[in-house]
Structure 1
Amino acid sequence: MTTSLWQQYGRDSSLQHQIALRSTQGNLSWQALAAEINARAVLFRQQGVGMGTGVGLCGKNSLEFVLAYLAVLQLQGRVLGINPAFSPEKIQRICQDNQIAFLFHEETGLVPTGEGKTCSPLFHSLTLTLTSGSSGNPKAVVHNIKAHLDNAQGVCRLMAFNEQDTWLLSLPLFHVSGQGILWRWLSCHGILMLPGEDFYGSVLEATHVSLVPTQLQRMFAYIEMQQCLSWRTQHILLGGTHIPIALTQKLSQLNIQSYSGYGMTEMASTVCAKKSDEHVGVGQPLLGRELRLVDEEIWLKGAGLGLGYWQNGAVVPFTNSEGWLQTRDKGIWVNGELVIIGRLDNQFISGGENIQPEEIEALLQQYPTVKQAFVLPVDDVEFGQRPVAMVQFSGDFSTAQVTELRSWIAEKIEKFKQPIAYYPLPIQAQHGIKISRVMLKQALVQLLRKDE
């Protein structure tokens, strides 16, 4: 085993008795936490986990998942989070592709997969995080512990997170955003809080929380429904998609400081962030990050940059010849801060004009009754492609709602960017904490067939 931060804190006389983790099962001090992780590490080692061994964690966030994640790293293994919503066939394929020798489920514990025997022990103490990209094919981004900690420092400094504060594990560990919470906690030896069954009640008990806009909308509904008059929440980091200004202004009215961020799996989570204001940008690169715009494509390097993608038992770098990660994200500088325009992969051409779906989506989400909106291209004989919208209203989807929305947007955007049709946003496209554009395209194809 290798000495880890949690072991150091557990032995430090000034820290060992401080609370490290809160859960529905009680509180753990740093000393007790280190002992629990040691116990899992001993058990895992007895079952065959060692330097370079790949272990997949498949399930929802829990105390056991946190302990297992850290125990694998303590044993200098490779840990990969897997969405439990994936089919058994997809999970098996992921294990094969990434040489995952064991799969951990909270109910069954550590189970051999029959894979991973060819993996070199040279690749150790690594996290693998799946990212679908635009194709929908999962690729595993490889990070070492230093990259996670380097990324964490900039976020903790911006959000004034320290050892007296509590950060809620509000995002899944199989997302890099969830892992980012763990490493911020560890870098500052603060307090990690695991949510209980009343998730939004837990949100209001932590000083620091990471949320996507959908979760934030549900938090507002919870506060209203429960008639909450007070909360401990002081700082909320927002990211994952376009962040409506109306939401951050509503947080300000609740005396909660929000932060608008932009990040990538390849960069170990947040790259740029700022205290939210009346502007749509995401600020500037945080501590140690570097950013360059090349033909409006965002290039990144510095703190948090991964080692590459895991392919066939090796790490294949994803940087270009100059050492930059070409993100395929489109951005511009406005008044000294980065504004994210959208994915270059999502852009399409309609009648010779470039259309960036995210621009239209951001406008649609300014309409009072629109909760979420996504714009996709459909083939058109005359124009090549035209935009259509998939929308979730705060109430039921109806012709009347669509008519009013059409009229509203007609005065605010060029005609060729106005959606030619509107469809309800399918619930099944909610893939974890993000909407899957791949699934939206599949759903749209089915809807269009019904219209034929």
Structure 2
Amino acid sequence: MDLGTLFEFAVERHPRYEALVQGGTRFTYERMNIEINRAASGLQALGIGQGDRILIVLKNRLETVILYWAIQKIGAVYTPINFRMSSEEIKYCIQDADAKAVIYEPVSEQAVLGAIKELSPVKIGVQGALGADISYEGLQDKGSGEPARPEIQDDDVCLMLYTSGTTGRPKGVPRTHKNEYGAAVAHIIQNRYEVQESTIGVMPLYHTMGMRSLLSMAFLNGKLVMTPDYNAQAVLELLEKEKISCVYLVPTIFHDLLYHPEFEKYNLSSLTKLGYAGAAMTNALTEMIFEKFKPAIFVNHYGSSEVYTFSICDYLNRKPGCAGKPGFHQRLRVVVPDPDGNSTPDDVVPPGIPGEIIADLRTSEAFQGYWNRPDATKKAIRDGWYFTGDMGMFDEDGDLFVLGRVDDMIISGGENIHPLEVEDVIAKHPKVAEVAVVGLPDVRWGEIVTAFVVPKDSALTVEEMDAYCKNSDQLSNFKRPRKYVLVKAIPKSPVGKILRRKLRNGEYEELYLKRESVS
């Protein structure tokens, strides 16, 4: 079953339900399908067909959604990337994907045009972007209205996501119709979504989380409300105005919403189903979400672009920060960690001992290898298991806790220390807005636990933080930070993951001139 056909089923089921909203534009399923068919036949008229990769360099806008479904209907491969990428990065992705076309808008225009000087993809401009071979409106006019529908198989690739590239070049993750269908069904079941849910299109459509919101709403005849330009107030206004029922966000956005000075004035009573993924959430933020949102359902989803679901936890009131049990398509193990990739699926560690999390690849949600990267595939996929590169631990109840990346583990004086357990303690300090913990080189200890802190209160001092950590019954003394750095912001990826390498490399803006160490 291909995704384009499944969308058409949704159109037949409830043609007059609202499907897509942006600003003053509101599409029913019936009206949206007409727009999609025109775009699909327009792409075919340009010579774009089954199996062709189409690079998408757009914000989360109405046109992006229309083009996604148009690409599915003609059997091409939706290949989205971050619209903030540089020319060099875009050029790499175009060449790596061997993209037949590139679709861009004014915000990405300069970078795209710089990237394709020596290349010849078909250029499609959205929102009046210059330098294109054809505009989005021209594409609609060129279409006959009904695309020729090729025969599409479950195992045909329909999407290629590029990983964030925090270490080296980004890797292409090809995903099939079967993978995306399996992931969408998992998302619906694990978040307990129902027909005619509504959500907000905040998470980027170049990221697996954005894809889940798009697909799950379509399969349930739900409403997707797009937000091309994110800011917390705009999101709060839309949550209230559109009576949004469910969201799937990174912790950073939950933080932005809850700490917005006018949060209390918005009526968010329709919003009952919350989910987060993409990064760890502190216990303090988890507790605040329960207090302020009072959700009926609150799920921590742990997964990846490669294998959508690893695990889910829907009892965060009892175990904040817990990643829970394997998803219903999945089973997991925790094995001896080895950054060089020599561990095997049989090197299992007992409960209570940290190790690398690995996932069974027999799930319908799982990819089968990276695009043009046999080296990366060989390291990540071993004996039918996906080695995540994440550190984790099962507790005595069989619940998983994610402890950060294998490469993020701090080894200080021979002791293994995981940043999240230190961050959870510091985040509860009333004068701390955000915190990230990394290991910095130290002659004596090898690495020294260092806390980078964004203060909520300018009166916060290093001595106060250190006394707080010393007095905490949740933090062993050897795990206590020996250095504190007060910073303006914690560097993050576009989806809210802390970029610890930037902190290690000194890429941050310090609030005060001197860093403080403690004994």
TM-score, normalised to structure 1, is: 0.88
> Partner amino acid for 1:156?
I
Distance 2:508 2:228 in 1: 39
Distance 1:29 1:446 in 2: 47
Contact 1:180 1:269 in 2 (8 A): no
Q: Secondary structure at the match of 2:204?
A: coil
Distance 1:313 1:387 in 2: 36
Structure-to-structure mapping, 1:30-41, within 5 angstroms: 30-41=29-40
2:192 is aligned with 1:160? yes
Q: Secondary structure at the match of 1:431?
A: coil
1:367 maps to which residue? 429
> Partner amino acid for 2:505?
Q
> Partner amino acid for 1:442?
N
2:288 maps to which residue? 250
Contact 1:79 1:126 in 2 (8 A): yes
The one of 485, 506, 519 equivalent to 1:423 is 485
Distance 2:121 2:374 in 1: 8
2:445 maps to which residue? 383
Q: Secondary structure at the match of 1:222?
A: coil
1:206 maps to which residue? 244
Distance 2:165 2:318 in 1: 30
1:406 maps to which residue? 466
Contact 1:308 1:318 in 2 (8 A): no
Contact 2:174 2:369 in 1 (8 A): yes
The one of 278, 300, 303 equivalent to 2:318 is 278
- CA separation of 1:390 and 1:213: change in aligned 2, threshold 3 A: same
Structure-to-structure mapping, 1:93-104, within 5 angstroms: 93-104=92-103
Q: Secondary structure at the match of 2:302?
A: strand
Distance 1:76 1:426 in 2: 46
CA drift of 1:223 comes to 6.9
> Partner amino acid for 1:298?
I
Task: Report the number of matched residues.
Answer: 443
> Partner amino acid for 1:263?
G
Structure-to-structure mapping, 1:152-231, within 5 angstroms: 152-195=184-227, 198-204=234-240, 205-222=243-260, 224-225=262-263, 227-231=265-269
CA drift of 1:344 comes to 1.3
State which drifts further: 193-202 or 376-385.
193-202
Q: Secondary structure at the match of 1:71?
A: helix
> Partner amino acid for 2:235?
F
2:358 is aligned with 1:299? yes
- CA separation of 1:133 and 1:270: change in aligned 2, threshold 3 A: farther
Name the % identity.
23
2:370 is aligned with 1:309? yes
Distance 1:141 1:218 in 2: 30
State which drifts further: 190-199 or 82-91.
190-199
Distance 2:7 2:270 in 1: 26
2:500 is aligned with 1:440? no
> Partner amino acid for 1:189?
N
Q: Extract unaligned runs of 5+ from structure 2.
A: 123-151, 337-354
Superposed CA RMSD in Å reads 3.1
CA drift of 1:261 comes to 2.1
CA drift of 1:230 comes to 4.6
- CA separation of 1:439 and 1:80: change in aligned 2, threshold 3 A: farther
Contact 1:170 1:209 in 2 (8 A): no
1:139 maps to which residue? 171
> Partner amino acid for 1:377?
G
- CA separation of 1:3 and 1:409: change in aligned 2, threshold 3 A: closer
Q: Extract unaligned runs of 5+ from structure 1.
A: none
State which drifts further: 225-234 or 178-187.
225-234
Distance 2:364 2:433 in 1: 34
* 1:308-344 deviation digits (Å, cap 9, x = unpaired): 2111799957753421101121222222321112211
2:306 maps to which residue? 266
Contact 2:162 2:170 in 1 (8 A): yes
* 1:201-220 deviation digits (Å, cap 9, x = unpaired): 22343100012222112212
| Greater strand fraction, Structure 1 or Structure 2 | 1
